[in-house]
Amino acid sequence: MDVVDPQDIVQIEDAVRRFVQTEVKPHLDAWEEAGEFPRSLYQRAADLGWLAMGYPESLGGTPAPWALRNAMTVALARQGGSGGLMASLFSHNIGLPPVVRHGSAALQQEVIPDVLAGKKIAALAITEPGGGTDVSALRTTARRDGDDYVVNGEKVFITSGVRADWLTVAVRTDLQNKGPMGISMLMVPGDAIGLSRVPLKKMGWLCSDTAQIRFDGVRVPARYLVGEEGAGFKIILTNFNGERLSMAAMALGFAECCYDEAVDWARQRKTFGMALVDHQVIRHKLMDMKMRIESTRAWLQAVSARADAGEQGDKAAKGAEWVAQVCLLKNHATQTMQFCADQGVQILGGMGFMRGTACERIYREVKVMMIGGGAEEIMKELASRQLGL
Ligand SMILES: Cc1cc2nc3c(=O)[nH]c(=O)nc-3n(C[C@H](O)[C@H](O)[C@H](O)COP(=O)(O)OP(=O)(O)OC[C@H]3O[C@@H](n4cnc5c(N)ncnc54)[C@H](O)[C@@H]3O)c2cc1C
């Protein structure tokens, strides 16, 4: 297992703080209003080394254990307080892993280095208008025609879907097989003829790019298939583990962001002749937040340490138990975020209802964290099955 130097974590946290203070905070409200952030931010995140964290050196990456990646994720969520920014800026972390694990060497070289360098944007497209939870029922088809696949269908709620240069798309290649075994993964270039995309309006993640995408006879070279035909469902399931672990880290950071803002406010705001924080009820609210934050942090560290030790690749019982831990951790972390956003808004009072406070934004953003990447109900169901119930 890689041992992380605590100094590396301090350095990452400092770099995140500087980046957020100078390059995010002054503009965030305007980006939220505009419904997008500048594309140049990908280049900045790449220059800072954050896009490449956890990827192989041969593809332009910097191998990094989960402990280090989490440090960056938690710090960015805590300092920046914007899920929309993080979801889009790091959409490659759900789009690229299937290519890293299963793509041919040529496909990896064609797609991955430019994305990690901040020159191109990658997204993952699984969810369809007909449903996201029941992945095995997806209907987008890719029919083989000579050296190409011809893709027809529709995807929805796709993060970075409008901007993406590469879409990792779940398609049905075996048109006779309506279940999981008929599914494959295909890389579709964003500029492919027949591909159209429409931005969607949302409750939160306002500066994030979220799209509905149509494929009308889109021709894709067969060499863009990721892994074997029919292996898509398994690829999708494996990919979810990393996404859920990252979402738990994000949720922890957002919970801490609410706590920090609530503490600052409670120290400054006076009612009945004293600071809010001097009222016992308010201090107890803060401690209820802190208690959940610390349990989430400890659990995240424990599950990540097991991933760094290689347990997520273990097909035996320990691997299944780890998958259950990831599912339950995602639920716990997002519930912590929800609780802290709720208490944060309450402590800020009317100000907590105002645009521009982190608590207000995070309060609107929590539901997508509880639905995306595997909804709460599904996390419980999957965990219970992994535990043999
Ligand atoms: C802002 C945003 C960004 C997203 N980004 C992406 C992306 O980049 N790529 C991508 O592919 N998808 C993305 N998604 C889609 C997301 O992953 C799905 O919304 C999620 O998987 C749920 O699918 P659904 O919305 O179709 O809900 P449904 O599948 O219709 O389910 C609706 C509700 O019913 C519950 N439910 C379903 N089945 C059961 C059951 N058997 N038992 C009990 N309860 C059940 C679910 O938990 C859910 O709460 C995004 C979504 C949003 C909102």
Q: What is the pLDDT of residue 310?
A: 86
Distance between Cα 266 and ligand 1 center (Å):
36
Burial letters for 43-59: b for 16+ Cβ neighbours within 10 Å, e otherwise? ebbbebebbbbbbeeeb
Distance between Cα 370 and ligand 1 center (Å):
9
Within 8 A by CB and 6+ apart from 169, the residues are 125, 126, 140, 151, 155, 185, 186, 187, 188, 215
Is residue 184 a contact partner of residue 225, using CB atoms and an 8 Å limit? yes
Distance between Cα 134 and ligand 1 center (Å):
9
Burial of 187 (0-12, 13-18, 19+ CB in 10 A): buried
Closest Cα to atom 41 of ligand 1: 378
Longest dimension (CA), the chain: 79
Residue ranges lining ligand 1, Cβ < 6 Å? 123-127, 131-133, 157-159, 202, 205, 210, 368, 371-373, 375, 377-378
Distance between Cα 215 and ligand 1 center (Å):
21
CA dist 336 and 77 (Å) reads 14
Nearest to 25 by CA among 361, 376, 292: 361
Q: Which atom of ligand 1 is nearest to the CA of 368?
A: 53
Q: What is the pLDDT of residue 315?
A: 60
Q: What is the pTM of this model?
A: 0.97
Pocket test for ligand 1, best of 36, 91, 127 (most atoms within 8 A of CB): 127
Backbone angle region of 205, left / alpha / beta, with phi > 0 → left and psi within -120 to 50 → alpha: left
Is residue 211 a contact partner of residue 293, using CB atoms and an 8 Å limit? no
Q: What is the pLDDT of residue 338?
A: 98
Q: Which atom of ligand 1 is nearest to the CA of 204?
A: 1
Closest Cα to atom 11 of ligand 1: 126
Burial of 32 (0-12, 13-18, 19+ CB in 10 A): buried
Residue that is written with structure tokens 């419980």 in the block: 380
Distance between Cα 237 and ligand 1 center (Å):
14
Closest Cα to atom 37 of ligand 1: 133
Is residue 152 a contact partner of residue 140, using CB atoms and an 8 Å limit? yes
Q: Which atom of ligand 1 is nearest to the CA of 130?
A: 26
Q: What is the pLDDT of residue 131?
A: 87
Closest Cα to atom 30 of ligand 1: 131
Per-residue pLDDT of the chain (389 residues; tens, 9 = 90+): 567 889 999 999 999 999 999 999 999 999 999 999 999 999 999 999 999 999 999 999 999 999 999 999 999 999 999 999 999 999 999 999 999 999 999 999 999 999 999 999 999 999 999 988 999 999 999 999 999 999 999 999 999 999 999 999 999 999 999 999 999 999 999 999 999 999 999 999 999 999 999 999 999 999 999 999 999 999 999 999 999 999 999 999 999 999 999 999 999 999 999 999 999 999 999 999 999 999 999 999 999 999 999 887 656 667 899 999 999 999 999 999 999 999 999 999 999 999 999 999 999 999 999 999 999 999 999 999 999 99
Within 8 A by CB and 6+ apart from 114, the residues are 120, 165
Q: What is the pLDDT of residue 313?
A: 61
